[in-house]
């Protein structure tokens, strides 16, 4: 296993000569074994970073597709500890860069020190914590820094003058939220992303990946033209939810289509 700080694996996934693809799955959806297989399929197809969602009972940033995935994962017995066991199983076969999408209560309940230590042991590069405001980040940041795990900031279309504060002290990459509201596919992204990304770049040198709503190859290509990476979540979760016997083939094809579009 690499001796790099875990957060470095995320930044290194954004080479200057191409754009990064970040894919999302909910841990344990629809089962532990299938979830491991899905992550390995995404990695083998060329996904540069895989974001693993820890199921939560009140996922305020997530739309109905991912909420349903959380319920399926709970039904399959998924817990925070089982998520770490799942990552352990993935790490036996792949060193793909990983990030966790987790709500703060899960980290708090597990124990900040214990949670970040486990992340470092498993080379988990960073955490996306949607319900952790910048003003409260100091409660968690010392543990993230101690274990070299990035706190990935979420910058919304409404962040505006707060962007320097939102990205201060963070690492890995910036998650730029393309649209107001919750996660889910969108036919049109109305935010002025060019202006928003310019504001972010004035405040940080971190790579910027755009997510929320992106699901077609054309959308991915349009976003990749101005961003360093593209995040696709709900569309992948929908493929998994279909319970098709050819889901691995469909995930592989979908990732390769997106990769070709963004590069």
Active site residues: 51, 62
- Alpha-carbon span 191 to 179, nearest angstrom: 6
Report strand pairing: 49-53 vs 174-177.
Answer: unpaired
- Alpha-carbon span 229 to 216, nearest angstrom: 15
> What is the side-by-side strand order in the sheet with 150-151?
150-151, 124-128, 98-101, 49-53, 20-26, 229-232, 208-211, 174-177, 154-155
Residue (of 188, 212, 251, 258) closest to 21 by Cα position: 258
177, 157 Cβ separation under 8 angstroms = yes
- ∠ CA 232-85-211, nearest 5°, is 15
Q: Position of tokens 């077609």? A: 216
Q: Position of tokens 């319920």? A: 71
DSSP designation for 55? P
DSSP designation for 230? E
- Cα Rg for the chain, rounded, in angstroms? 17
């Amino acid at each position: 296993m690499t001796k790099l700080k875990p957060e470095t694996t995320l930044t290194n996934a954004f080479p200057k000569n191409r754009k990064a693809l970040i894919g999302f799955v909910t841990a344990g959806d629809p089962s532990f074994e299938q979830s491991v297989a899905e992550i390995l399929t995404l990695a083998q197809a060329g996904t540069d970073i895989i974001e693993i969602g820890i199921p939560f009972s009140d996922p305020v940033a997530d739309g109905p597709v991912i909420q349903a995935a959380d319920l399926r994962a709970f039904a399959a017995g998924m817990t925070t500890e089982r998520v770490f066991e799942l990552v352990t199983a993935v790490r036996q076969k792949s060193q793909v860069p990983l990030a966790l999408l987790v709500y703060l209560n899960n980290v708090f309940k597990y124990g900040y020190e214990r949670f970040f230590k486990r992340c470092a042991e498993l080379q988990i590069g960073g955490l996306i914590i949607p319900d952790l405001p910048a003003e409260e980040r100091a409660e968690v940041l010392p543990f993230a820094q101690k274990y070299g795990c990035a706190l990935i900031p979420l910058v919304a279309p409404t962040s505006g003058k707060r962007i320097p504060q939102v990205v201060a002290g963070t690492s890995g990459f910036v998650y730029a939220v393309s649209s107001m509201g919750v996660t889910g596919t969108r036919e049109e992204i109305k935010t002025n992303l060019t202006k928003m990304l310019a504001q972010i770049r004035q405040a940080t040198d971190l790579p910027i990946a755009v997510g929320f709503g992106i699901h077609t190859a054309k959308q991915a290509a349009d976003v990749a033209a101005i961003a360093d990476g593209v995040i696709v979540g709900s569309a992948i979760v929908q493929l998994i939810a279909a319970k098709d016997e050819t889901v691995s083939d469909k995930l592989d094809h979908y990732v390769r289509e997106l990769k070709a579009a963004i590069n």
